[in-house]
A and B are shown apart, each in its own frame.
Chain A
Amino acid sequence: MLNILKTENLKSYYIFETPTEKKEVKAVNDVSIDIEEDKIYGVAGESGCGKSTFLKTVCGLAEPPLRIVGGTIYYLVNGKYVDITKLSQEEYRKLRWEYISYIPQGSMSALNPIIRVKESFKDFVTAHKKIKDEQKDFEEPLRKHLNALGLPMRVLKSYPHQLSGGMRQRVTIALATILNPRIILADEPTTALDVVAQRAVIQLLKDIQSLQKNTIILVTHDMAVHANIADRMLIMYAGVFVEEADTEELFENPLHPYTKFLIGSLPKMGDKSYKVSAPGSPPSLANLPQGCPFHPRCPYVMDICKNERPALVETKPSHKVSCFLNSKERIQND
């Protein structure tokens, strides 16, 4: 399986500088990850753990005060790995939307309010493709695309404010997939929608993935959505990925103490036992503890956890975890 997105030691901080003090919010703190093609990844974690920032960084939307402070991001372009942090503005602009697209949180206002939806689509398409014959090159594929996604043709003639919230979200998804990108980043696409619209959106994403065979990285704190749609899951905590596994494996055998709490707190049918959540609260990303970021709350904390950060290593086939507990077990098992 090819990796279509790779990051190595990626660091992306919000930097606030006044003459008197400098504050660094370490939202993405040394992340190295490989993302395979043709899979739906789910990224889960609490609010403020850096999930959205990770998406923004990876699709080149890091604007001051957010800066890429270190590390590399690779896309697979024409069979070669290209470090996009080294590309020029124009080179990168060409890659956008055709290689990687983005569905932002709260797509309510993602469309230009004073032009019709059809024209928005045209803007995005013509930025990357030349249209010689409008009917053949633009309108036909557009209609087919909307049909495949179950969207009515009337949305094309409408202005964004004339569509309902759920419809707008689905139009934004259609827009994000019009050029068949290889990766789609979706940031909380189901939040702020009612359950019926949520289901429609999730179904839409599934349909797209099976149609276009691309990779979707879906960020949401709603574990039910992950259980429903994600093939593989990434758990994020305080700016780092602490666990990575196929969805079923993660739900049945969580290895990281944080993940254990997370899975344990999910309601199950017929299970009336008392739910326990991790004690304390997540650290401020501006003031991270030394060593493993979870150690102040971890019931299995050891001395080494307070001083060194564990790396994300594969302790079971296809199951990576960043925790000294597990690597210790592995060493013992060897």
Chain B
Amino acid sequence: MLFIKRYLLPRIVQFLVVVFVGITIVFFVPRLTPVDPVQQVISQITSQGAFMDPAAVDALRQSLTELYGLEGGMFQQYFAFWGRLIKGDFGPSLFQFPTPVMDLIMISLPWTAGLLITTTIISWIIGNLLGGLAGYFKNKAWAKTLDNISMVLRPIPYYIFSLLLLILFAYLIPIFPSAGGYSVGRRIGFNWAFISDLLIHSFLPAMSLVILGIAANFMTMKLIVSNIVAEDYVMYAKAGGLKESTIAFKYVIKNGLLPQITGLALSLGQIFGGALITEIVFSYPGLGTLLYGAINSGDYNLIMGVTSLSVIGIAGATLLVDLIYPLFDPRIRYR
């Protein structure tokens, strides 16, 4: 078990490095414009009609300067920035002034998290299962058909696919609602009426993520399995007259799932981006739609808040998946 320190420690360090690099990039972005962003923000707010007395404006200017890391020595600003980050203070939303950005994020976060976690798990399991079987029985007709379908689906970007689903099932054949997380006016509660409403609304966005996720997992798993099938222990199992189902599941697919766990950890960033886009297409009330509104209203604070939290969140999720890996691979568990 002490050897796990050899596994655990580097990964925790890597997590810190990712957060460090990502947040540093976020820190430097405001310096990309020649225009003074703080002044821009203040004029934007005042032009929207919010009345602020001079003392409040000064306080705002001060906190924004700190938040955008623009004043004082570089290191001083950098540490101040981190200080605010840890407190979860991203300043006020510019569009919905003066609501703090963090509050807005907290409302949208559960929607995104729910969608993301369920669809990722479902598409990982189904995609790998189908890919594994198709890779093992690669000459069967159904395997080839699935392969061709996945080949076409895989490279399609999330936006295009979600848009196609939207057009198809919300406009042309209006089965599903075209927007929102639940019907307008519905009361939130743990009753079937609400939950079924929720499910209907999240069906299309979930479908979009699940189908593309399955296609991606299918293709990588098939490739992995085609390599495993040539391994000595698979040939040996065949020589031993083991049943096909035993070989397919216990010898091939089970071994193939291991690199797929690592693969999942590496693609979380991409999946997250896809989820954001899908939400935007379906106006699903998660971080994606929040971000879209922020882009359209020039709400820089909100964008920065979502980005920073995304970096930390995805890095953390990656670390979690990495930590699950030894549970499945005895070669790491025992040395």
Report if A106 contacts B (CB, 8 A): yes
Q: Are A159 and B250 in contact (CB under 8 A)?
A: no
Question: Nearest-CB distance from A148 to chain B (Å)?
Answer: 20
Q: Are B254 and A114 in contact (CB under 8 A)?
A: yes
Question: Nearest-CB distance from A52 to chain B (Å)?
Answer: 12
Q: Are A114 and B255 in contact (CB under 8 A)?
A: yes
A107 to B246, CA, bound (A): 21
Interface string of A161-182 (1 = CB under 8 A from B): 1100000000000010000000
Q: Are B255 and A112 in contact (CB under 8 A)?
A: yes
A97 touching B241 in the complex, CB below 8 Å, given contacts A113-B255, A114-B329, A115-B250: yes
Q: Are B243 and A93 in contact (CB under 8 A)?
A: yes
Interchain CB contact (< 8 A) of A127 among B235, B240, B329? B240
Interchain CB contact (< 8 A) of B233 among A96, A97, A111? A111
Interchain CB contact (< 8 A) of B243 among A102, A109, A115, A127? A127
Interface string of B307-335 (1 = CB under 8 A from A): 00000000000000000000011110010
A331 to B331, CA, bound (A): 64
Report if A61 contacts B (CB, 8 A): yes
A-contacting residues, B244-261, CB 8 Å: 246, 250-251, 254-255, 258
Q: Are B232 and A127 in contact (CB under 8 A)?
A: no
Among residues of B, the one whose C-beta sits closest to the C-beta of A128 is B241
Interchain CB contact (< 8 A) of A96 among B240, B250, B251, B334? B240
Contacts of A93 in B (CB 8 A): 241, 243
Q: Are A124 and B242 in contact (CB under 8 A)?
A: yes
Q: Are A112 and B235 in contact (CB under 8 A)?
A: no
- Residue of B255, B258, B330 with most partner-chain A CB within 10 A: B330
Interface string of B161-202 (1 = CB under 8 A from A): 000000000000000000000000000000000000000000
Number of A-B contacts (CB under 8 A): 74
B-contacting residues, A102-129, CB 8 Å: 102, 104, 106-115, 123-124, 127-128
Q: Are A109 and B233 in contact (CB under 8 A)?
A: yes
Report if B237 contacts A (CB, 8 A): yes
A-contacting residues, B145-159, CB 8 Å: none
Report if A95 contacts B (CB, 8 A): yes
B-contacting residues, A218-249, CB 8 Å: none
Report if A72 contacts B (CB, 8 A): no
Q: Are B232 and A114 in contact (CB under 8 A)?
A: no
Q: Are A112 and B251 in contact (CB under 8 A)?
A: yes
Interchain CB contact (< 8 A) of A114 among B239, B242, B243, B330? B330
Contacts of A98 in B (CB 8 A): 241
Report if A4 contacts B (CB, 8 A): no
Q: Are B235 and A104 in contact (CB under 8 A)?
A: yes
A236 to B258, CA, bound (A): 42
Interchain CB contact (< 8 A) of B242 among A102, A111, A123? A123
A61 to B241, CA, bound (A): 11
Q: Are B239 and A102 in contact (CB under 8 A)?
A: yes
Report if A94 contacts B (CB, 8 A): yes
Q: Are A61 and B238 in contact (CB under 8 A)?
A: yes
Interface string of B31-70 (1 = CB under 8 A from A): 0000000000000000000000000000000000000000
Q: Are A104 and B232 in contact (CB under 8 A)?
A: yes
Contacts of B243 in A (CB 8 A): 93, 127
Contacts of A95 in B (CB 8 A): 241
Contacts of B240 in A (CB 8 A): 96-97, 101, 123-124, 127, 175
Interface string of B250-284 (1 = CB under 8 A from A): 11001100100000000000000000000000000
Among residues of B, the one whose C-beta sits closest to the C-beta of A124 is B240
Interface string of A278-310 (1 = CB under 8 A from B): 000000000000000000000000000000000
Question: Nearest-CB distance from A167 to chain B (Å)?
Answer: 15
A159 touching B235 in the complex, CB below 8 Å, given contacts A93-B241, A113-B255, A124-B240: no
Q: Are B239 and A59 in contact (CB under 8 A)?
A: yes
A110 to B242, CA, bound (A): 14
Interchain CB contact (< 8 A) of B246 among A101, A110, A111, A127? A127
Contacts of B71 in A (CB 8 A): none
Interchain CB contact (< 8 A) of B239 among A101, A115, A162? A101
Report if B103 contacts A (CB, 8 A): no
A104 to B231, CA, bound (A): 12
Contacts of B330 in A (CB 8 A): 113-114, 159, 161
Report if B236 contacts A (CB, 8 A): yes
A128 to B255, CA, bound (A): 24
A92 to B38, CA, bound (A): 79
A275 to B275, CA, bound (A): 74
Question: Can you identify 16 A-B contacts, CB atoms within 8 angstroms?
Answer: A96-B241, A108-B232, A109-B231, A110-B236, A112-B250, A113-B330, A114-B254, A114-B258, A114-B329, A114-B330, A123-B237, A123-B240, A127-B240, A127-B242, A161-B330, A175-B240
The list of the 10 closest CB pairs from A to B, nearest first, reads A96-B241, A109-B232, A110-B236, A102-B239, A127-B242, A93-B241, A124-B240, A159-B330, A97-B241, A97-B240
Taking A61-B235, A61-B239, A127-B241 as known contacts, 9 extra A-B pairs with beta carbons closer than 8 A to each other, sorted by chain A number, are A59-B239, A60-B239, A95-B241, A107-B232, A109-B233, A110-B236, A112-B250, A112-B251, A175-B240
Binding site for A on B (CB under 8 A): 231-233, 235-243, 246, 250-251, 254-255, 258, 328-331, 334
